[in-house]
Chain A
Amino acid sequence: MRTAILSAIAALLAGCATTDDATRATAERVLDYAQQTVTPTLQESRYIAAEQAGAPLLKFGIEDLEVVTIGVFDTRRDGIETWLTASGPSFAIEDGFLRNTRGLGDDLMSSDVSQIRAAVLGRENGTVERFMTFIGPEEQTVTRSYVCDIEVRGARDLTVNTLVVNTTLVAETCTSTDQNFENLYWLRESNGKMVQSRQWASNKIGPVVMRDGPNR
């Protein structure tokens, strides 16, 4: 089992080498989670079972922390997918847009990205709003709003799982009173679906990079 996971991670990472901004800072280090496994928790069991069953995979990277990990598809409900990682955290995604994270220490607890989703998938330049909820000091729920400019940056060729994919790059530049960040989305030319993205999750976590893996 351990070897299988390790070789899976190694194989996936081999397909990671591109020159995109989004992935440049990642892939420095892979944590050998498998070697630390003693008795798996239920979540680990689910991860292992899904991975063995050939469930779709997504690659997740956290740039600021230089961590790369593999997520397996777990659940889809009301159009929102939850992806589990072997190391414990999970990511909820709707049409490729990050809806929440769990287990990162400073999680994105929830979000409303409906305006962003419409503009990015519609490939429309313009200004829209996004809302994100975090846990702040004194364990208080803090919801913040951001004003975001959407800009279609044009065609980009991307190597994904050893195949060259024609994509359109759309950028989202967001500001609030004291925060600003830039999100990037690569949309597949053929079907308009997101194949890769870089999305800001929270203050301490920074951007999360996601890229389609095999079976996806």
Chain B
Amino acid sequence: MKLQKNVASKALVILACTMPSTAMQAQDLSTYGTTGLIDMPSAATLDDGALAFTSSFAGPTIRNTLTFQITPKLQGTFRYGVIDQYRQRLNENLYDRSFDLSYRINDETQYLPAFAIGLRDFGGTGIYSSEYIVATKSITPAIQVTAGLGWGRLGERNGRASPFTGISEDFGTRPNTSAGGIGETGQLDFDAWFKGDIAPFGGVSWQVTEKLTLIAEYSSDEYSREVSRGLLSMESPINYGLTYAFDNGVNLGASYLYGSELGVRISYVLDPKTSQAPSGIEESPLALQPRSTVASASWNQPNGAHSVEDVLNARLADQGLMLEGISVNGNRASVRIINTRFPAKAQALGRAARIMANTFAPEVALFDVTFMVNGMATTTASLARADLEELEFDLDGAWKSLARTALSDAKPAGPSDKLTGIYPKFTYALRPYLTPSFFDPDRPVRAEIGASLTAAYETRPGMIISGELRRPFYDTISDAVRVSDSVLPRVRTDGVRYAQESDIELTHLTAEYFFRPGENMYGRLTAGYLESMFGGVSAEVLWQPVNSRLALGAEVNYVKQRDFDMRLGFQDYEVATGFVSAYYDFDNGFQGQLDVGRYLAGDWGGTVTVNRAFKNGVKVGAFFTLTDVSFEDFGEGSFDKGITIEIPIGYLSGDPSLNTFGQTIRTVQRDGGARLDIRNRLYDVTRGYRTPSMEDQWSKFWR
């Protein structure tokens, strides 16, 4: 396809580069990567939806943090910290994963400060375990004062007995959160929250210029664990810092901490709501031509050199829209297309509709566009040619065109609709790949980099035979020496052995069949080497009405564990696994998913997933799985959980593309709560073409 070398895109990348980036000014981020002063938290929040990446270095401590402003008031944080030589007897560093949550209770008013309540490290090894209540008030536009009360680690300096002991004596003593050892990490430390001694903290920040801020704080954290190990020297409760915000969104902080150490912090805050180029930098659509021009076009004349079908095919293909079928009945023309280019489905529709209007003879008054995905007809959009003509330059053209477009569940293609000569289709690609692996204490980031060869053969719509071979060239995953200590069937924890014992990896080789079992229903059958560790058979159905925010699905698989060499052989372990799933697309940008069923290790349970999905396709989410495997048997982390981030390439480049960067980060990969990693689960395949998703990006209909 020509799109890759589109001159327009290249030229306008220059335009895009000169635009302000989508980064936000980093606001008041602490060494913990959350909104705060230097080490201490404040009641400030980031802008709604902001994603902040922070690395900070001070004394023996490194903290890498990802903070997400989940809602305007709720902030969530994942942190990976390293404390040098913390495990002195073992002569080892401490690698620590921790989660924080904070909630701003109220907005600041003229007289009342903003208040926030927060939990730091509420379910990790407990090294940073602390809770706080904090208030922040602007005294002048440039000066903010913060004062708070801390528990746990934040209650160490001059800690006083909790006033809540009057309510219950339990509030007086804080249970030792790390007493259970590594086996109990990951559990919520409810028992300890807001218990034990309380200490005050506070500070002042002064925004000297738009870019420079000076901060001083009184810290209630004595770093007693680090001091007792001789890792740092605590000389003063007062910390000093300055921050400098660069125009490109990078924010640098420098600090003088504990009266003895210099600290550095670098942060980057991303605004997922605003794309690099909100309306895109791809070439313009072709303007609608007057009907008289279209009528006189050669293909609408008797004995024209090209047929309507040829012209339509070429014009759609030029836009990355592949024509699969065409029919004309009376004054209604219908096309079936595969969208290979536009993440905004309304944009694909708008372009296809204009191409139809510029191609079909003027007598054709109604257009149907059906989107085909993996051979399945998903949604049909019906529009009137006269509406297109009326609304092309209308001030409110996007909204009005949505109101006048009917979206319905697509009917199966009749034999006359189908173009001949398209099938069988054969495609292949050779490209590089990168698989990261995180949080091995011996080496926190490992990766496998190599070449991937994929090929797909589509015998007829929906029937796809495909496979992928990988050849790693650089691999540090297989250098790992930690062996699985799992007491469950080792369905995932042998990942290192797969990396070690394979040279050429067959990551999948499957036959897939996609079909529509009925109205609003989708079906999938997959057989073969389903993923890198399992092969077998898989069947799925999904019920998803075109206008519904709710979808329901069921999936059953019978799989056998593959050999470590990732070739054709199997090991002895086999299991039946399956789920019933409910998906809900909330109106406010949140998506929820609940899967209940049997996991790979034979354990029964459920997975809860919540994503915040921005309309431009950026997605930030979290999930956890609880099964009948006990926390003890599960091992480190107690249960499976993690976060996912997905960023479409187009968000960054401004050029439409269906490709995304995606990464799931688990605190630790164990065998409990593990799901089959099957490709093309139906909800992900079809969701984009149902009404709620199409409406999300309808602003691009005329783009």
A associates with B: yes
CA A65 – CA B271 in complex, angstroms?
23
Question: Complex: how many Å from CA A74 to CA B354?
Answer: 15
Is B403 engaged at the interface, CB distance under 8 Å to the other chain? no
CA distance A117 to B669 in the complex (A): 65
CA distance A110 to B399 in the complex (A): 12
Q: Is the CB of B15 within 8 A of A42?
A: no
Contacts of A75 in B (CB 8 A): 286-290, 293
| B317 (CB) vs chain A CBs: closest residue | A42
Does the CB pair A77–B288 fall under 8 Å? yes
Residues of B within 8 A of A82 (CB): 287
Residue of A at shortest CB range from B6?
Answer: A41
The smallest C-beta distance from A32 to any residue of chain B, in angstroms, reads 9
* CA–CA, A172 and B459, complex, Å: 62
Which residues on B sit within 8 Å (CB–CB) of A77?
287-290, 389, 392
- B19 contacts partner chain A, Cβ-Cβ < 8 Å: yes
Q: 1/0 per position for B678-702, CB-CB distance to A under 8 A?
A: 0000000000000000001111101
Query: Is A89 an interface position by the 8 A CB rule?
Result: yes
Measured between alpha carbons, how far is A136 from B271 in the docked complex, in Å? 13
Residues of B within 8 A of A104 (CB): 12, 15, 279, 281
Contact A42 to B10, CB < 8 A, known contacts A67-B15, A131-B395, A141-B399: no
Q: Mark B187-231, 1 if CB is under 8 A from A, else 0.
A: 000000000000000000000000000000000000000000000
Q: With A90-B284, A110-B397 known to touch, is A42 a contact of B9 (CB < 8 Å)?
A: no
Q: Are the C-beta atoms of A102 and B396 separated by less than 8 Å?
A: no
Q: Judge whether A38 is part of the interface by a CB distance below 8 angstroms.
A: yes
A88:B7 contact, CB within 8 angstroms: yes
Known: A99-B393, A100-B393, A143-B395. A109 touches B12 (CB 8 A): no
How far apart sit A90 and B288, CA to CA, in the bound complex (Å)? 13
How far is it, in angstroms, between the C-alpha of A42 and the C-alpha of B281 when the chains are bound? 17
Q: By the criterion CB–CB under 8 Å, are B15 and A92 in contact?
A: no
B395 touches A139 (CB 8 A): no
Task: Bits for A125-140, please: 1 = Cβ < 8 Å to B, else 0.
Answer: 0000001011111111
Question: Across the interface, do A87 and B396 meet the contact criterion of CB distance under 8 Å?
Answer: no
B398 and A139 within 8 A (CB)? no
Q: How would residues 9 to 20 of chain B score, 1 for a CB under 8 Å from any chain A CB and 0 otherwise? A: 111101110111
**Least CB separation from B291: chain A residue:** A77
Interface check A192, CB cutoff 8 A? no
Q: Mark A65-78, 1 if CB is under 8 A from B, else 0.
A: 10100000011111
Q: How far is the CB of A62 from chain B (nearest CB, A)?
A: 8
Q: Report if A189 contacts B (CB, 8 A).
A: no
CB of A42 within 8 A of CB of B393, answer no
- Residue B280 is within 8 A (CB to CB) of chain A in the complex: yes
CB of B289 to closest CB in A, whole Å: 5
Please name all residues of chain B whose beta carbon is closer than 8 Å to the beta carbon of A135 when the two chains form the complex: 278-279, 699-700, 703
Q: What chain B residues lie within 8 Å of A90 (beta carbons)?
A: 284, 287
Contact A133 B393 (CB under 8 A): no
B7 adjacent to A36 (CB under 8 Å): yes
Q: Which of A46, A74, A139 sits near B278, CB closer than 8 Å?
A: A139
**A77 CA to B273 CA, complexed, in Å:** 35
Q: B382-401 vs A: 1/0 string, CB under 8 Å?
A: 00000001001111111100
Do A109 and B615 touch across chains, with their CB atoms under 8 A apart? no
Instruction: Report the count of interface residues on A (CB-CB < 8 A).
Output: 55
Task: Note all chain B residues with C-beta closer than 8 A to A156.
Answer: none
A103 interface residue per 8 A CB criterion: yes
Determine the chain B residues whose CB is within 8 A of the CB of A99 once the complex forms.
393
Identify which of A33, A42, A64, A143 gathers the most chain B CB atoms within 10 Å of its CB. A42
| Given A36-B11, A39-B2, A100-B393, A89 contacting B279 (CB threshold 8 A) | no
Q: List B contacts of A133 (CB < 8 A).
A: 395-398
Indicate which residue in A64, A109, A138 contacts B273 across the interface (CB closer than 8 Å).
A138
**Cα-based distance from A90 to B318 in the complex (angstroms):** 17
The range of chain B's interface size is 35 or more
Asked whether B657 is an interface residue with its Cβ less than 8 Å from the other chain, the reply is no
- Which B-chain residue is minimally distant from A31 (CB atoms)? B11
- Residues from chain B with a CB closer than 8 A to the CB of A110 are 393-398, 702
Q: Is the CB of B278 within 8 A of A105?
A: yes
Q: How far apart are B650's CB and chain A's nearest CB, in angstroms? A: 11
Contacts of A138 in B (CB 8 A): 273-274, 589, 614-616
- Give the residue among A40, A133, A143 with the most B Cβ atoms within 10 A: A133
Q: Is A182 part of the binding interface, using a Cβ–Cβ cutoff of 8 Å?
A: no
Would you call B654 and A105 a contact (CB within 8 A)? yes
Min CB–CB distance B275 → chain A (angstroms): 8
Given A37-B7, A88-B6, A110-B395, A139:B699 Cβ within 8 A: yes
**Assembled-state Cα–Cα distance A141/B391 (Å):** 15
B315 is an interface residue with CB less than 8 A from chain A: yes
Chain B residues with CB under 8 Å of A141's CB are: 396, 398-399, 698-699
Whole-angstrom distance from the CB of A61 to the nearest CB of chain B? 13
Q: Does B344 contact A (CB under 8 A)?
A: yes
**Nearest B residue to A64, CB-CB:** B18
Interface check A80, CB cutoff 8 A: yes
Q: How far is the CA of A100 from the CA of B285 in the complex (A)?
A: 12
Q: Mark B277-308, 1 if CB is under 8 A from A, else 0.
A: 11111111111111001000000000000000
Task: Report A210 CB to chain B, min CB distance, Å.
Answer: 16
Please, how many angstroms separate the alpha-carbon atoms of A136 and B314 in the complex? 33
The answer to whether the Cβ of B434 comes within 8 Å of any Cβ in the partner chain is: no
Q: What residues on B are CB-neighbors of A112 within 8 Å?
A: 395
A36–B10 touching, CB < 8 Å: yes
- From residue B343, how far is it (CB to closest CB) to chain A in Å? 10
- A103→B283 contact, CB < 8 A: yes
B431 at the interface (CB under 8 A from A): no
* CB–CB A88/B8 < 8 A: yes
Q: Is B5 an interface residue (CB 8 A)?
A: yes
Would you mind naming 9 contact pairs between A and B with Cβ atoms under 8 Å apart? Answer: A75-B286, A75-B293, A88-B6, A89-B8, A104-B281, A106-B278, A109-B279, A135-B699, A139-B699
Sorted nearest first, the 3 A-B pairs with minimum C-beta distance are: A88-B8, A105-B277, A102-B284
Extra 17 A-B pairs, beta carbons < 8 Å, given A43-B8, A86-B7, A139-B700:
A36-B11, A37-B7, A41-B6, A41-B7, A42-B314, A43-B284, A44-B7, A75-B287, A90-B284, A103-B281, A106-B19, A109-B703, A110-B393, A133-B398, A139-B696, A140-B615, A204-B20
B interface residues (Cβ-Cβ under 8 A, vs A):
2-3, 5-12, 14-16, 18-20, 271, 273-290, 293, 314-315, 318, 344, 389, 392-399, 589, 614-616, 654, 696-700, 702-703
Q: A: which residues have CB within 8 A of B?
A: 31, 33, 36-44, 46, 62, 64-65, 67, 74-78, 80, 82, 84, 86-90, 92, 94, 99-100, 102-107, 109-112, 131, 133-141, 143, 204
